[in-house]
Amino acid sequence: MRAESFDSRVRQALHAGRRWHPAEIAFWCLAFAAFLLFPRNLLLLNEIAILALFALSLDLILGYAGIVSLGHAAFLGMGAYAAGLFAKHVGGDPLVGLAVGMGAAGLLGLVTSPLVLRGSDLTRLMITLGVALILFELANSLGSLTGGADGLQGIMMKPVLGLFDFDIFGRTAYLYSLSVLFVLFLIARRVVHSPFGLSLRAVRDNPLRASASGVPNARRLAAAYTLAAAYAGAAGALLAQTTQFVSLDVLDFHRSADLMLVLIIGGAGYLYGGLVGAIAFKLLQDAIASFTPQYWMFWIGLFLVLFVLGGREIIHGAVKAVAGRLATFGKGGVR
Amino acid sequence: MSVALQTFDLVKNFGGITATAHVDFTLAKGARHALIGPNGAGKTTFVNQLTGVLKPSSGRIELMGEDITSLPREARVKRGLARTFQINQLFATMTPLEMIALVTSERLGRGSHPFRALDRDPELVSQTAEILNRFRLDDIVDRTIATLPYGKQRQIEIAAAFAARPSVLLLDEPAAGVPEAERRELMETVAELPGDVSVLLIEHDMDLVFRFATRITVLVNGRVLAEGSPEEMARDPAVRAAYLGEDAHV
Amino acid sequence: MLTVLFDGIAYGMVLFVLGCGLSVTMGLMNFVNLAHGAFAMLGGYVAVQAMQRLGLPFLACLPLAFLAAALVGIVLERLIYRPMYAKSHLDQVMFSIGLVFMAVAGTDWLMGSTQQFIRLPAWLQGRFEIAGVGIGRYRLFVIVVCGLLAFSLQWGFAHTRFGSRLRAAVDDARVARGLGIPVNRLFALTFALGCGLAGFGGALGIELMGLDPSFPLKFMIYFLIVVTVGGTSSITGPFFAAMLLGVADVVGKYLVPEIGAFIIYALMVVLLITRPHGLFARARA
């Protein structure tokens, strides 16, 4: 009998990790309500949703699998160009284009994953940076295909699901991007709480013990890298489809660096870090752009330096304190 | 005698240094075997070759009659060879529950499953619970491993190895660094390991070795110096000279 | 063709002077300073300003560039770099990228985004021919200066007290500390020297590499290749890596201009995969 009750305790404890917190539900309700609350800012909201998806992708490999990357823009760019070229030359259906973007980026992730399996963090940073630079150069020199420095123009999108046409206010764009983000988030949430997700955390925490526990480290990391690449490709595809334009900028180094800042702001390893970070990042960018548009880069740099020098601990400490209070409040509400 | 684990002429060189010198070693099924030797005798190097952390320079390793010399680490675990580490190798951010659940899920072949929820898997739940119970971890399932006392961490180290349901279990100095007060519980755990598991204990603590082992191998300078029952080893003058340091009478 | 090769060597020489400081700081404190190029840019701008505003001769501007970059290096090392040594590589990378961004935007604000030029003295202009090989006077000057510099660095590294302490500290900082070597001061000095060399190289390289606010970003990958390929525990490793890179880049861009910098990035990735510890690391191990 005693063993029986302990079994159910174990089951409950395992369930606790994936239980929906009231704050999570509130977060998503707000995200969808933003469509009605901020009708004039839908283009910005769309950008936030896309950046959040991109950051979610980096969080999967950095926060869960412990792979550092300075070249995540490679997958964003791959997804954007694949989806853009597909829409231009094959067909304008958004969901098919999304799948094409994810597939192309995922394939690139799979092919380049052997490069990041071994080596120190430093080697990984260099290699991911190198891969992204190679892709940038390729896109730049294959001008006949990608439009080179002028960008890929002439992308025409059909309505989403054949019903919702893209408009200049970003209504369809935001709801489309947010829905894709939400669905992919649900999948990611499922994945990180699965045996596979647990094994990723094991490899991140201690690769030696992971392999001594029967985990095939390299194969799991490759799978996670491929999945994250596909997610970044989805973000790229959304970017191409909702702006109907792809420029070389999607492959630029600053995309990868910005993304790290987003995750530094939001914190890695709990899935919401990328989303919260993306909101903070874009609002900050928007606010700063209103008084000094051209020196945004300086402020990014300053934030990076301050964050690493100690600001991160302060902010996360404050957030944790607030979250703790919210959590007790939430539990009180449920009971 | 049926054999669980065997090495044939195993050699490991590091540059000019020979850390393992032509070792022929046999671990019988169900054995309680201890591997002893002074510091730097090559005990951990030997274990690291058995488990695939290091690649031997030459020689062969067989597990249950099957050549495993060039198998990757995780494949050896799947074939029933598990180990603990001299220095704790734990998943610091996990709870004991998660760590044991991970090992169990890998053993059950669930590890690559990306969608199944851990708690919806009755087999996983009951086998994880069983290990937590057996190793007296049931009162700390929810604590982060990094925050637990050292003795408990040592306990988890053994539990995680045992959760792989090994036929051969290698314990690399399980009691090292454990305070006296927590030592007894740990030794009881080791003594209670089921009889069908063959255990190789690498240990410095002679007290523990003589209480636990029915057979002892003495390794000195990467070479097997002697092997036999604990009584024989205690009497052997060469062992006493090399290992116990009692060379005053020579 | 030989002329192109010659240009490649000159280019590689400048890359070496720019990158060798980075490789020593990386080897010594295991610190990844992606902002190294910012010091080179500083040297470049100091040289340009000194020539244009103060009317100083070119040769006087080079040491000035060195001093300015070294001085800023000392101050920054003391103020903001030192707390970073204990942090993870990822943090260091983020931190120094932040510095790069600030330097790029700050320079843009102060100096404008236009390309900077210097007017070389007459005796360094033009080219002459030896056995049909066109040789640029300035490139020859660069090769001679950098060659002497590389030689004296190698000599200093191998034969002076400072050099032997540095080698001991690169080998094992903890042991060196135990031996009474003041590793922190050693590092501050080395850091300043590295920054100074970068500033010097930045001034010397204006003619070859150009100079505008995006300099630290544009050439970041080049320095990193020099360091990762050349290893971090000697002078000769980065030297040969810089030569290889300079020649490959110049010759590659000359022969197949369409694919641009593609060659060297591919080269780096291949080298990092096949020799993850640097091209010249194994020989020493």
Half-sphere exposure of C164 (CA within 13 A, CB side): 4
Whether A84 is covered by a domain: the verdict is yes
The domains of chain B, with CATH numbers, are: 3-244 (3.40.50.300)
Report whether A173 contacts A49 (CB < 8 A).
no
- Average pLDDT of chain C, as a whole number: 82
Q: Roughly what angle, to the nearest 10 degrees, separates helices C2-29 and C236-255?
A: 140
Report whether A267 contacts A273 (CB < 8 A).
yes
Q: Roughly what angle, to the nearest 10 degrees, separates helices A171-192 and A195-205?
A: 80
Report whether A139 contacts A255 (CB < 8 A).
no
In this predicted structure, the answer to whether residue A332 has a pLDDT above a threshold of 50 is no
Distance of CA A118 to the CA centre of its chain: 23
Question: What are the chain A neighbours of B48 within 8 Å (beta carbons)?
Answer: none
Alpha helices by DSSP H, listed for B109-219, are 122-134, 150-162, 180-191, 206-212
Whether A169 is covered by a domain: the verdict is yes
Chain A contact for C102 (CB, 8 A cutoff) = yes
Report whether C231 contacts C283 (CB < 8 A).
no
Per-residue pLDDT band for C99 (boundaries 50, 70, 90) equals very high
Q: Which of A12 and A106 is assigned the larger pLDDT?
A: A106
Q: Among A142-146, B104-108, B196-200, C118-122, name the one with the lowest average pLDDT.
A: C118-122
Most confident residue range from A115-119, A197-201, B111-115, C202-206: A197-201
Q: What is the pLDDT of residue A333?
A: 38
- Of B89, B46, B83, B87, nearest in space to B177 by CA: B87
Q: What is the pLDDT of residue C277?
A: 58
Q: Inter-chain contact A301–C259, Cβ cutoff 8 Å?
A: no
- How much is the average pLDDT of A160-184? 89
Both tokens assigned to B31: 């054995």
Q: What subunits make at least 3 CB pairs under 8 angstroms with C?
A: A
Whether A18 is covered by a domain: the verdict is no
Low pLDDT (below 70) residues in chain B: 1, 243-250
A19/chain B closest Cα distance in angstroms: 11
Residue C42 sits at the vertex; the CA angle it makes with C38 and C48, to the nearest 5 degrees, is 140
Question: What are the chain C neighbours of A309 within 8 Å (beta carbons)?
Answer: 80, 83-84, 95
Q: Inter-chain contact B119–A15, Cβ cutoff 8 Å?
A: yes
Chain A contact for C224 (CB, 8 A cutoff) = yes
Whether A272 is covered by a domain: the verdict is no
Q: Inter-chain contact A301–C87, Cβ cutoff 8 Å?
A: no
In terms of C-beta density within 10 A (0-12 exposed, 13-18 middle, 19 or more buried), how is residue A317 classed?
exposed
Question: What are the chain A neighbours of C99 within 8 Å (beta carbons)?
Answer: 301, 305
Q: What is the pLDDT of residue A206?
A: 92
Per-residue pLDDT band for C20 (boundaries 50, 70, 90) equals confident
Amino acid letter, residue B16: G
Q: What is the pLDDT of residue B249?
A: 39
Q: Choosing among A14, A193, A201, which should be mutated to test the B contact, i.e. which has the most B CBs within 10 A?
A: A14
In this predicted structure, the answer to whether residue A31 has a pLDDT above a threshold of 50 is yes
Q: Among A67-76, B186-195, C1-10, C146-155, name the one with the lowest average pLDDT.
A: C1-10
Whether A6 is covered by a domain: the verdict is no
Amino acid letter, residue B88: N
Per-residue pLDDT band for C285 (boundaries 50, 70, 90) equals very low
**From the list C80, C258, C261, which residue is nearest A309 (CB)?**
C80
Both tokens assigned to A146: 């990608």
In chain A, which residues touch B (CB < 8 A)?
3, 6-7, 9-15, 17-18, 190-191, 193-199, 201-202, 205-206, 208-217, 219-220, 223
DSSP state of B197: S
Both tokens assigned to C257: 């201009």
What is d(CA A303, CA A291) in angstroms, rounded to the nearest whole number?
Answer: 17
- Of A302, A309, A259, nearest in space to C106 by CA: A302
What is d(CA C244, CA A165) in angstroms, rounded to the nearest whole number?
Answer: 54
In this predicted structure, the answer to whether residue C282 has a pLDDT above a threshold of 70 is no
Per-residue pLDDT band for A334 (boundaries 50, 70, 90) equals very low
In terms of C-beta density within 10 A (0-12 exposed, 13-18 middle, 19 or more buried), how is residue C175 classed?
exposed
**From the list C89, C92, C265, which residue is nearest A137 (CB)?**
C265
Q: Among B67-76, C129-138, C148-157, name the one with the lowest average pLDDT.
A: C129-138
- Of A214, A312, A189, C52, nearest in space to B114 by CA: A189
Both tokens assigned to C210: 């150009």
Report whether B29 contacts B198 (CB < 8 A).
yes
Count, residues in chain A: 335
Q: What is the pLDDT of residue B247?
A: 42
- How much is the average pLDDT of C160-173? 79
Per-residue DSSP letters for C213-270? TTHHHHHHHHHHHHHHHH-SS-SHHHHHHHHHHHHHHHHHHHH-GGGTTHHHHHHHHH
Full residue range of the structural domain in which residue A80 is found: 35-252
Per-residue pLDDT band for A319 (boundaries 50, 70, 90) equals low
What is d(CA A192, CA A63) in angstroms, rounded to the nearest whole number?
Answer: 10
The domains of chain C, with CATH numbers, are: 2-284 (1.10.3470)
What is d(CA C22, CA C168) in angstroms, rounded to the nearest whole number?
Answer: 18
Question: What are the chain A neighbours of B83 within 8 Å (beta carbons)?
Answer: 212
Q: Inter-chain contact A127–C258, Cβ cutoff 8 Å?
A: no
Whether A335 is covered by a domain: the verdict is no
Q: How many domains does chain A have?
A: 1
Q: Inter-chain contact B78–A214, Cβ cutoff 8 Å?
A: yes
Q: Inter-chain contact A194–B113, Cβ cutoff 8 Å?
A: yes
- Of B76, B58, B62, B46, nearest in space to B173 by CA: B46
- Of B65, B91, B63, nearest in space to B76 by CA: B63
Predicted confidence (pLDDT) per residue in A64-105, tens digit: 998 989 899 999 999 999 999 999 999 889 999 999 999 999
Whether A54 is covered by a domain: the verdict is yes
Report whether A66 contacts B92 (CB < 8 A).
no
**From the list A137, A298, A301, which residue is nearest C262 (CB)?**
A137
Q: What dihedral do alpha carbons B140, B141, B145, B147 form, nearest 10°?
A: -40
Q: Which of B177 and A109 is assigned the larger pLDDT?
A: A109
Q: What is the pLDDT of residue C110?
A: 87
| C-alpha to C-alpha distances, C72 to C81, C217, C263, nearest whole angstrom | 12, 19, 34
Chain A contact for C106 (CB, 8 A cutoff) = yes
Q: What is the pLDDT of residue A326?
A: 59
C97/chain A closest Cα distance in angstroms: 7
- How much is the average pLDDT of C241-259? 80
- How much is the average pLDDT of C243-268? 77
Whether A91 is covered by a domain: the verdict is yes
User: What is the predicted ipTM?
Assistant: 0.88
In this predicted structure, the answer to whether residue C40 has a pLDDT above a threshold of 70 is yes
